[in-house]
Amino acid sequence: MNKSHKELVRLYYEELWNAKNKEYIDYLFTDDIEFHGSLNIDTSGKKMFENYMNTILNAIPNLHHSIETIICDEDNIAVKAIYNGTHTGKLFDFEPTNNRIKYYGASFFKFENEKIKSIWVLGDLTNLNKQLSKKRDNDE
């Protein structure tokens, strides 16, 4: 069943990230998927992407991605997304805060043979870092 590029991007957010259905890694990505994330993460290949996903979900298990805007041309899609979740596990140098986080990002998707070939993500790291480093008001 052929899916449009726009449908593949929606499945990337809804099924892979929001439903945490990792079976979609094989369905959505080329074998040599390149991922460049604003959290200073670069991955190459499906297994490395899955490891990245596990790192993020261990830190923010209820992470939810929402598409706010999607712009398409023949072989590229740009998405403005909102990321929401609760920081309950260690994320890089940030110990768990139990803070509810919300930040924006832009993702750029490229396709090859009806699959996602590369993803570049640019997130609002200034806002995210403030939320990850701020102690909750009731944690004094």
- Strand blocks (E) in 10-114: 29-37, 41-44, 64-72, 76-86, 100-112
pLDDT per residue over 62-75, tens digit each? 999 999 999 998 88
Question: Sign (positive/negative) of CA torsion 117, 4, 26, 18?
Answer: positive
Coil, strand or helix: which one is 75?
A: coil
- Residue whose entry in the numeric block shows the structure tokens 């490229």: 110
Q: Give pLDDT tens digits for 61-110.
A: 999 999 999 999 888 999 999 999 999 999 888 899 999 999 999 999 99
Residue 45 vs residue 130, higher pLDDT: 45
Residue pLDDT, tens place only, 13-72: 999 999 999 999 999 999 999 999 987 889 999 999 999 999 999 999 999 999 999 999
Half-sphere exposure of 112 (CA within 13 A, CB side): 9
Q: Is residue 137 scored above 80 in pLDDT? A: no
Distance separating alpha carbons of residues 55 and 48, to the nearest angstrom: 11
Level-2 CATH architecture, domain 5-135: Roll (3.10)
What tokens does 32 get? 């040599």
Q: DSSP labels for 5-29?
A: HHHHHHHIIIIIIIS--TTHHHHHE
